[in-house]
Amino acid sequence: MAHPTYAVFEHQLVSYRRVWRGSVLSSFLLPVLFLLAMGLTVGGYVDRGGGLGVRYLDFIAPGLLASTALQVAAGEATWPVHAGFVWHRMYHGMRATPVRIPDMVRGHIMYILLRVALSAVGFLVVMALFGAVHSAWAPAALPVAVLVGLATAAPIFAYSATISTDGMFAVLFRFAVVPMTLFAGVFFPVDSLPLAARALAYVSPLWHGVELTRAATLGTPTAWGGWAHVSFLVMWSVAGYLLAVHRFSRRLAD
Amino acid sequence: MVLRKSLADLSYPRVRVLDVSAAEPLIAAHGLVKRFGDFTAVAGIDVDVRAGEAFGFLGPNGAGKSSTMRMIGCVSAPSGGTLRILGMDPVRDGPAIRARLGVCPQQDSLDQDITVRENLTVYARYFGISRRQARQRADELLEFVQLTERANDKVEPLSGGMKRRLTIARALVNDPAIVLLDEPTTGLDPQARHLVWERLFQLKQRGVTLVLTTHYMDEAEQLCDRLVVMDGGRIGAEGSPRQLIERYATREVVELRFSDATLDSYLGKLEGIGERLELLPDRILLYADDGDLAVAAVHERQLRPSSVLVRRSTLEDVFLHLTGRTLVD
């Protein structure tokens, strides 16, 4: 008998079967656009200064890969989760079955991680085509992307299970997702930030993911050492997961 | 609507083997209470539902019906009293109980993005049913609720009645020992309602235990072997529809309307005819065992109602008597 967590995962796959072509296409197309516009075009100007030590394309590509993991996770952990409580009430449907709340959270997150992994594969392939992969460690960027997905999707699940209207997602994106994307070392090294802003970058899961991804594709050392960054992401994941289960239980009680 | 498919086509076992003794009710609630903060939704009710019974909770919105159903469905913990379902404790054994319940909630919770059949197969997997069995079961159930032709359509464009039938099919996917239906036909047009009733009646004949809430009197009369009338979180009366009507109403009811506005002035003039009078904003109800005799008596007193309707009394009259007001949604 399949585990209930897997049944929840399978449910998501049945939905995904309808849209997978488009999503796979965009997971190749988006990196191409990003690397053309940011890596090559902006990079053309940045590289004249030569302050980074590596080509801007090579610097930004792993950052964008980690950031893509965040975007996919954030997109999938917000409105679809809200829909499950309020619009389609999918979670309420599951609640009437032997499926337990941790099964719902885990099964749905498993699916999101699959989506993150697919996007990361697409991104890495495009990066290779652009000549932005410089280390045999590059495949390690994939599990890192998945871990970034988990470390962001899990706490966002808790947020999505807490809010009462989807208007609150604007707050999440404005104050968490967008600032993280801009200031967590994707586009420029965080060393150039003032200390307070740097501290925020250090707390964010994305910066740790960017450090690890960059190390993987460039073959350079990370700021704090690999395990420190991995531990940080695991911490976000575990705390986010526990909080998500707690918020789901609250939402589905009574 | 004519039943096209014989019941024997469905792979339902006629006799359900239950791990509770035949004497023990499938659902046993004693002094059951549900509170939300200061608000008491269910104020101590006693209910026993036995195997094979169709049991109804009848009452207006806010009576506590849905709260009771959610406690029975093991998704809401009781605030007081005891509740046992299939011999188990809903708080401790929630998943084990839910594995053997079929739930048709008041609000649809179908997945709009996948097909009608997929809604059933995906749901079957939540009960640990194999993929192959799930497909087979889905096809049988689609036939049962007459949705075979829509099997590969998405859910979203279906009519309200079709969605409700799909929800009922979904509630049967695990071959449940008890089917819980929270206002199964609310919001449906008459034709759709009748189709749903027909299907529920077949389930009942097959020996499936049904527990339903409704605020439709005709629904309760059609489907329920036994019911309780709830109001304000309490049970006002209990019995079969017929028993309740006999106990709280008369065999017939005469509805009298008068064209002049002062209805209450007629109360005195009608005094003594029939067993009881009820004044409503637009009409007077006259409870009598023989309606025609009562109408004759009204005319004898030189009263000229603008309209007279003699009808059988219904649960609506019982409800009116018990709560002193008409049933409002």
Residue B297, amino acid: A
Distance of CA B22 to the CA centre of its chain: 24
Residue of B nearest to A11 (CA): B122
Q: How many CB pairs under 8 A join A and B?
A: 75
What is the pLDDT at residue B221?
87
Residue B27, φ and ψ in degrees, nearest 5? -125, 125
**How does pLDDT run across B149-205, given as a tens digit for each residue?**
999 999 999 999 999 999 999 999 999 999 999 999 888 888 888 998 998 999 999
With pLDDT > 70 as the criterion, what percentage of chain B qualifies?
Answer: 91
| Contact between B76 and A92 using a beta-carbon 8 Å cutoff | no
Contacts of A15 in chain B (CB under 8 A): 111, 113-114
| Contact between B76 and A254 using a beta-carbon 8 Å cutoff | yes
What is the pLDDT at residue B7?
38
Q: What is the mean pLDDT of residues A67-86?
A: 96
Q: Which ipTM value was assigned to this complex? A: 0.91
CA distance A81 to chain B (A): 13
| B2 pLDDT higher than 80 | no
CA distance B211 to chain A (A): 15
Q: Which of B39, B74, B113 to mutate to test the interface with A (most CBs of A within 10 A)?
A: B113
Interface of A with B (CB under 8 A): 1-2, 4, 7-8, 10-11, 14-15, 18, 88-90, 92-100, 252-254
- Facing residue for A100 by CB, picked from B95, B113, B128: B95
| A1 pLDDT higher than 80 | no
| Contact between A90 and B73 using a beta-carbon 8 Å cutoff | no
What is the pLDDT at residue B31?
96
**How does pLDDT run across B82-136, given as a tens digit for each residue?**
999 999 999 999 999 999 999 999 888 999 989 999 999 999 999 999 999 999 9
| B328 pLDDT higher than 50 | no
| B326 pLDDT higher than 70 | no
Say if residues A66 and A186 touch (Cβ distance below 8 Å). Answer: yes
With pLDDT > 90 as the criterion, what percentage of chain A qualifies?
Answer: 90
Rounded to 5°, angle at Cα B107 from B83 and A171: 105
| Contact between B114 and A254 using a beta-carbon 8 Å cutoff | no
Strand order in B252-257's β-sheet? B276-279, B284-288, B252-257, B307-312
Q: What is the mean pLDDT of residues A49-57?
A: 89
| Contact between B95 and A18 using a beta-carbon 8 Å cutoff | no
| B22 pLDDT higher than 80 | no
| Contact between A4 and B76 using a beta-carbon 8 Å cutoff | no
Contacts of B118 in chain A (CB under 8 A): 14
What is the pLDDT at residue A105?
98
- Facing residue for B128 by CB, picked from A1, A8, A252: A1
Average pLDDT value for chain B: 87
What is the pLDDT at residue B261?
65
| Contact between A96 and B110 using a beta-carbon 8 Å cutoff | no
**How does pLDDT run across B215-261, given as a tens digit for each residue?**
888 888 889 999 999 989 999 899 999 899 888 888 899 999 988 76
Q: What is the mean pLDDT of residues A87-97?
A: 94
- Facing residue for B125 by CB, picked from A7, A90, A253: A7
Distance of CA A1 to the CA centre of its chain: 31
Buried b (16+ CB within 10 A) or exposed e, B99-117: bbbbbbbbebbbbbbbbbb
What is the pLDDT at residue A172?
97
Q: Which residues pair with A147 in a beta bridge?
A: none
| A43 pLDDT higher than 70 | yes
Residue B76, amino acid: S
Whole-angstrom Cα distance, residue B78 to residue B140? 36
Residue A243, amino acid: L
- CA distances, A85 to each of A12, A49, A243, B109, B158 (Å): 15, 51, 17, 9, 21
Whole-angstrom Cα distance, residue A225 to residue A230? 9
Contacts of B174 in chain A (CB under 8 A): 97
Q: Which of A16, A23, A97, A100 to mutate to test the interface with B (most CBs of B within 10 A)?
A: A97
> Residue A162 corresponds to which tokens in the numbers above?
């807490």
| Contact between A93 and B107 using a beta-carbon 8 Å cutoff | no
What is the pLDDT at residue B321?
81
Residue of A nearest to B176 (CA): A97
| Contact between B101 and A96 using a beta-carbon 8 Å cutoff | yes
| B1 pLDDT higher than 50 | no
3-state secondary structure A116-156: HHHHHHHHHHHHHHCCCCCCCCHHHHHHHHHHHHHHHHHHH
Q: In terms of pLDDT, which residue wins out, B215 or A48?
A: A48
Q: What is the mean pLDDT of residues B77-86?
A: 96
| B270 pLDDT higher than 90 | no
3-state secondary structure chain B: CCCCCCHHHCCCCCCCCCCCCCCCCCEEEEEEEEEECCEEEEEEEEEEECCCCEEEEECCCCCCHHHHHHHHCCCCCCCEEEEEECCECCCCCHHHHHCCEEEECCCCCCCCCCEHHHHHHHHHHHCCCCHHHHHHHHHHHHHHCCCHHHCCCECCCCCHHHHHHHHHHHHCCCCCCEEEEECCCCCCCHHHHHHHHHHHHHHHHCCCEEEEEECCHHHHHHHCCEEEEEECCEEEEEECHHHHHHHHCCCEEEEEECCCCCCHHHHHHHCCCCCEEEECCCCEEEEECCHHHHHHHHHHCCCCCCEEEEEECCHHHHHHHHHCCCCCC
Whole-angstrom Cα distance, residue B152 to residue B115? 5
Q: What is the mean pLDDT of residues B49-61?
A: 91
| Contact between B73 and A96 using a beta-carbon 8 Å cutoff | yes
pTM reported for the whole predicted model? 0.87
Average pLDDT value for chain A: 95
**How does pLDDT run across A167-188, given as a tens digit for each residue?**
999 999 999 999 999 999 999 9
